[in-house]
A and B are shown apart, each in its own frame.
Chain A
Amino acid sequence: MSIAILKAPSVSVASVDVARTLRMGLLLGGVGVYLAAVGILAMFNERWIIVGLLTLGYGVLGLVYLVAGMISARRGAGLMTALASGILSGAIAGLTVSVLGLVIGPFSLQSVFTQLNGKLADSLALGLAPLSGLLVMLGIGAVCGAIGAILRFTPLTVRRPLVIAALVTVTAGLFQELIQIMLQDGPLTPVQDLIYEWEGLTAQGAAIVFVVAFILALIGVQISRRRARAAAAKANADSGQSLTKMGMIFLVLVLLPLMGGNYIGQVLLLVGLYILMGMGLNLEVGLAGLLDLGFVGFFAVGAYVTALLTANHPMAILHLNFWVAMPIAVLASVVVGVLFGIPVLGVRGDYLAVATMGLGEIVRVLVVSDAAKPLLGGPLGITQVPKPAIFGYGLTTPIQLYYLTLVASLVAGLIAWRLEGSRLGRAWMALRDDEDVAAALGIDRIECKLLAYGLGAAFAGLAGSIFAVMLASVYPSSFQLVVSINVLALIIVGGMGSLPGVAIGSLVLIGLPELLREFGEYRYLFYGVALIFMMQFRPEGLMPSKVRKRELHAAMGETSEPAVPTARAA
């Protein structure tokens, strides 16, 4: 007995795949170094998750070590071996990051890499003397790596609640300002006093939040498992489920402004506008399969036409009421959408993306050029766009405009939903899948594609119209290519062809970065990573549509369902 205990660790440690573990540790250490060099670490270090104990920056570093441990621990090898490799690779990752801190000063890295300054070196040494800092960091890495390795071995029913609880705790820490405002002066004030202090989450609060969230999640996971099992027994419960999902998301969107002030309203308004645009681009990309990177053009047309028709500005041609100008703006966007679509009708697949991007860029350069200055005001744009009113009741605050956007999104969502199952929706599916076959079945490519461009443009135009009102002005700098990429990113993260996905994508990609200044600075970096990761690991998005999921997995060459291999051969 005792021999076995003594022997077991030595055997398992010997069976650690050292080369691979080292590689993983170095790789993740590299990620840590990258985060430091790009400046994310320094910026995240200014935000507490738990006051006085853990900043977001260290939290992220810990996560990196944890991942190192997790991926180098292999399940097949047994717990002890896994633990050993987890500890080793976590420690290596920690070491790599520490070494960066040590070399910053002597090699004066700051002269090239602006973010690698003395302050960062200090924080990488955890504020200790260089050598002890290094040792402590090594230890932290080892501990996190060990946790990662153990996590790998915990069953899903426990791991998922753990992750959820950690996420909830982090959220409670990061959004402390918002949450504290919500809790203040209400019946929940005692809760606030329990877990928060002035600056944020206390250690005791974090523990409470974590435990409570963990228990709730544990129960939730059990319930949802039972539900899933019941649902699996019933066939075709899927469409009903997505409707309830839709309804729940909508309810959340309606209630969100109650969270607080005008700033939230501003953010939500932006989220709403992107939902609207996402619905539009979803028609083009998600349903018709037309990857349109000039989408921002339609948004711009909506905004400019609204401004030209309503503003109190010398450039304006008329001074109409918003409710008259908005339909005209939408119509103008549709016309532009169709005109835009015509030349690229015959351009297929990936070439289309480049062609539409080129068209969008042409429009943008033209708008800022001297040639168009007398018409559109050049880089200075058009200002003083008045706010709309309903029955004499002005829609002036962002929250009021947000509700306007929400209604518009709802209508857009309804339209998209109806169209998807319709004759036109099927024709789009056919075009997306195989243009030649679609044409041979009598589907008019021109008509269907132009309808996709036109309808997609209508939503974007509407969003543009509200955008002009929101800013009370339009500038060409608001209509860069990145807007198209943003919309594309949000429907991809949310799930191509999925309506709830659009809302989720917009909340995550537009809402979060606005709320977290730290993310805001690096949002495009985050988008880039999101696009790469989503395409590699979850191309169907967070809330997939069934058909797209099948398509994407078929494209990745997976055959999750028993397929007939010869069907597409020959």
Chain B
Amino acid sequence: MAVQIPEDRLKIARLSRISIVDVLLWALRIGVLGVVIAGTIGTLINGRYGWTQWVDFVVFGLTLGSIYAQIALGYTMVYGVLRLINFAHGDFMMSGAFSAFFVANAFYRSGFLESHPVPALLCILITSMIVSTAVALLAERFAYRPFRRVVGLAPLICAIGVSFFLQQTFRGMFGSSIRAYPDPSWQRATISFLGIEVQAVELLVIGLAVLFMIGLYLIVQYTKMGKAMRAVAEDGDAAALMGIDVDKVVVFTFMLGGAMAGIAGVFYCFVYKQVYFYMGFTPGIKAFGAAVLGGIGSIPGAVLGGFFLGLVESVGPALFLDGLGIPGPYQLRDVIAFTLLIMVLIFRPNGILGERLGKKRA
């Protein structure tokens, strides 16, 4: 059948399918990919790193990934239930880390940390989890609850406020200096395996992280509260109609998220051996990226995203940047992480696991 001939006021030329912006976005993708490939080839050719070093990078990446994954879990659960980017989540981790520091310091001075690593570690972990959870619950109660049914930017801005408030509170109470986390001998031990030296504490972090994640998974999958949480994440209104107490579920979610953040805080202390009031910010933002990468709202996604981000951040500078002859590639670690974050937000806001978020966010 004949399609009508266009009138002349119709400018078909303007119906271009590809705009300049699309071209630029493709250029961005290709550019980033190009840098990655060129850098990788360059690094592999000049062969500066032996395979033991690569293994080192990978183990460190998994360690970092454990931290990111733990934080990302909190982000993802809160987002799933409340559709809120809890900007202050990194600061929940910071508060846990601070309490871990004080407990560890006291133990260290009394020699308990050196002589009884396991009970000491347990105490530290539990304190950190309790404090982070308490902070999370307070934030939920006093800052986030009024926004339960609010859409728009207000809750996000409030979350930024909470983040600032927590940072400055800790700065006020404990000072702005960087404090060294105690470093007993068992934290410095290394394990040799096939000629590779791995820090025992890194293995500890990875192992504990996996353990806690499995625990969390079981809680979310099989307990009554966990099931209610998933129901609310799927459809809050329907869940409420089915008689689920949404308030309780939200509190439970913040509790779990806070506990995970507390664990992340302890891990952070082990890896970086320091605490300061601003420490939560960067890992927090990065972990948010990890959560989005894995498909926000998805618990396995957050874990995968976290580990992936950790690996990229640890291996990336050596693999992508060193080969390009960029001076001081390790300073640019954060650039790699943030680039990944932005690329994900731009190109795959639904994450690699392809959540059915298109529908939810539409």
Contact = CB atoms under 8 A, between A and B. Distances in A.
Given A40-B172, A369-B328, A531-B161, A361 B338 contact: yes
B71 to A, nearest CB: 14
Contact residues on A (Cβ < 8 Å of other chain), bracket: 35 or more
Nearest to A370: B328
A529 B143 CA distance: 10
Interface stretch (B151-159, B200-208, B244-252, B266-274): B151-159
A370 to B, nearest CB: 4
A135 interface: no
Contact of A532 (B149, B152, B158, B334): B158
Interface stretch (B5-13, B20-28, B212-220): B20-28
A353 B163 contact: no
Given A113-B173, A342-B21, A371 B328 contact: yes
A530 B165 CA distance: 9
Given A353-B85, A369-B332, A370-B331, A535 B285 contact: no
Contact of A556 (B153, B154, B169, B338): B154
Contacts of B147: 535-536
Nearest to B99: A112
Interface in A173-188: none
A139 B158 CA distance: 36
Contact of A539 (B154, B173, B289): B154
Given A39-B172, A532-B165, A536-B146, A353 B156 contact: yes
B21 A535 contact: no
A358 B85 CA distance: 15
Nearest to A290: B153
A114 B349 CA distance: 44
Interface in B18-44: 19, 21, 24-25, 28
Contact of A365 (B85, B334, B346): B334
A538 to B, nearest CB: 11
A357 interface: yes
Interface residues of B, number: 56
Given A114-B174, A359-B342, A369-B331, A488 B349 contact: no
B189 interface: no
Interface in B123-163: 142-143, 146-147, 149-158, 160-163
Given A38-B169, A354-B341, A358-B342, A113 B164 contact: no
Given A342-B24, A539-B154, A362 B335 contact: yes
A455 to B, nearest CB: 18
Contact of B28 (A343, A349, A368): A343
Contacts of B19: 446
Contacts of B149: 557
B259 to A, nearest CB: 22
A291 B285 CA distance: 16
A366 B336 CA distance: 11
A350 B159 CA distance: 11
A529 B173 contact: no
A358 B341 contact: yes
Nearest to A531: B161
Contacts of B162: 528, 532
B150 A354 contact: no
A417 interface: no
Contacts of B163: 528
Given A342-B21, A347-B349, A528 B150 contact: no
Contacts of B326: 371
Contacts of A488: 157, 160
Interface in A513-565: 522, 524-525, 527-532, 535-536, 539, 551-552, 555-557
B154 to A, nearest CB: 5
A164 interface: no
B328 A524 contact: no
Nearest to B139: A532
A115 interface: yes
Interface string B52-84: 000000000000000000000000000000000
B153 A349 contact: yes
A408 interface: no
Nearest to A446: B21
A485 B164 contact: yes
B276 interface: no
Contacts of A530: 161
Nearest to B152: A555
A358 B349 CA distance: 15
Interface string A132-176: 000000000000000000000000000000000000000000000
Contacts of B143: 532, 536
A529 B152 contact: no
A361 B289 CA distance: 14
A24 to B, nearest CB: 14
Contact of A354 (B151, B152, B332, B345): B345
Contact of B155 (A357, A358, A535): A535
B214 to A, nearest CB: 29
A355 B346 contact: yes
26 contacts: A34-B169, A37-B172, A115-B172, A115-B173, A291-B153, A291-B156, A342-B21, A342-B24, A345-B21, A351-B85, A351-B292, A351-B349, A355-B341, A357-B285, A358-B339, A361-B285, A365-B332, A365-B334, A365-B335, A369-B335, A370-B331, A446-B19, A527-B164, A531-B157, A539-B154, A555-B150
Given A351-B345, A371-B326, A555-B154, 5 more contacts: A345-B21, A351-B349, A488-B157, A527-B161, A531-B161
